[in-house]
Chain A
């Protein structure tokens, strides 16, 4: 079960990186990002019993973080259905535990931590299943290779095939990173988190995060031949 309680965050509040939020990464930027302020409002509404209104406001929060959350979850799990479920669970968990949110750290950090815990749980469950059940791989292309529901299929099959191969290589390379490096790389590169935010999420020193991030990138470049 994912722990919705985040680790204590160091002083200084980084600005939000969520989709659609103005990104200002300079020190001394606004004290609270829009999504953090929104989360505080929702918490107050829930505390005053205005759950309906809180739900409506929460929709705005979902819209702000959904794309980023999907990107992180999908890069972690490489399965559209699993990623979909994990993101949904994370948002529902955030709303259920919104009363435990404290504005001493940004909402993004809190939410991402919940999301990552969900992804890790899902990976563990998948590994357990893989130990006990035989593979049902029938040689069909993976789900991510198929066009999504409502998506416009690529017209050029060659470009589609090349993109699929490229992504498979990239996914294989990321899977070859060790667990900590992979998490740090995911959060930093796909989650748009600064090393400081990543250190708050996973409870490591910022300098350690930077070292892991550098090593992960170097390994990926060597595995992929310098090209993504």
Chain B
């Protein structure tokens, strides 16, 4: 119990536990602590150490788990308790139909056929209308370049070189062919006044 007239550490610890539980320590020990400053100092150290441990834990707890977080936890617990006792809900996965899927009403299996038929009809009607509407239209007109989408615009004459007269002739021939089409009647009079390039070309070749 006593070692060299001092209280053993284990005995001091027992006293600490006894006091923590709200009981009073043994009178003999209490008397010794009152008379022996060294043991009283050791006991005070032990109490301070244990109290510091506890204070540190409480401070850490308050820092990590704030009041808001504790309230949120209470709500989560309440929410989970609402599920207690309820059977788990089974969600059927589309790739794995239930075993008795043959017993399902036939109406439920018609939907994919509807979709396929509608898609086929839409395709046919679209192709037919497209053919009718665009059959006699001229070629797609040349769209002017959009300033924002293209790079710096280079002048058209850059591409036109004197050393390539054949390209110019071809271009003009195409232009004449285009003018001969029935949808440009306004240019017919102008066409009549102008010699055709291909005729000039034929004349040159024949000479």
Contact = CB atoms under 8 A, between A and B. Distances in A.
Given A194-B21, A221-B49, A95 B67 contact: no
Interface stretch (A66-74, A106-114, A116-124, A125-133): A66-74
Contact of A66 (B22, B59, B70): B70
Contacts of A74: 60-61, 64-65
Contacts of B67: 150
A2 B81 CA distance: 18
A24 interface: yes
A190 interface: yes
Contacts of A220: 53
A96 interface: yes
A26 B23 contact: yes
Interface stretch (A4-12, A30-38, A85-93, A176-184): A85-93
Given A67-B70, A214-B13, A144 B60 contact: yes
A147 B59 CA distance: 12
B82 A62 contact: no
Interface string B35-65: 0000000000110011011111111111111
Interface in A179-227: 189-190, 194-195, 210, 213-214, 217-218, 220-221, 224, 226-227
B53 A88 contact: no
Interface residues of A, number: 54
* Chain B: number of interface residues, binned into ranges: 35 or more
Contact of A150 (B17, B53, B69, B74): B69
A218 B9 contact: yes
A179 B155 CA distance: 86
B132 to A, nearest CB: 65
Contact of B77 (A62, A96, A149, A151): A62
Q: Which of B9, B55, B60 has the most CB of A within 10 A?
A: B60
B66 A150 contact: yes
A105 interface: no
B14 interface: yes
Contact of B82 (A24, A55, A226): A55
Contacts of B81: 55, 58, 91-92, 95
Contact of A75 (B14, B21, B57): B57
B76 A88 contact: yes
Contacts of A95: 81, 84
Interface string B1-45: 000000001100110010011110000000000000000000001
B167 interface: no
Contact of B61 (A24, A70, A213, A221): A70
B53 A148 contact: no
A228 B69 contact: no
B57 A190 contact: yes
Nearest to B19: A25
A183 B164 CA distance: 97
A217 B9 CA distance: 11
A154 to B, nearest CB: 8
Interface of B: 9-10, 13-14, 17, 20-23, 45-46, 49-50, 52-70, 73-74, 76-78, 80-82, 84-85
12 contacts: A26-B21, A55-B82, A70-B65, A70-B73, A74-B61, A95-B84, A144-B60, A150-B69, A170-B56, A189-B54, A217-B46, A221-B49
Interface of A: 23-27, 51, 55, 58-59, 62-63, 66-67, 70-71, 74-75, 80, 83-84, 87-88, 91-92, 95-96, 143-144, 147-152, 154, 163, 166-167, 170, 189-190, 194-195, 210, 213-214, 217-218, 220-221, 224, 226-228
Question: Which 10 A/B pairs are nearest by Cβ-Cβ distance?
Answer: A150-B68, A228-B52, A25-B22, A25-B21, A151-B66, A228-B53, A150-B66, A148-B66, A214-B13, A91-B77
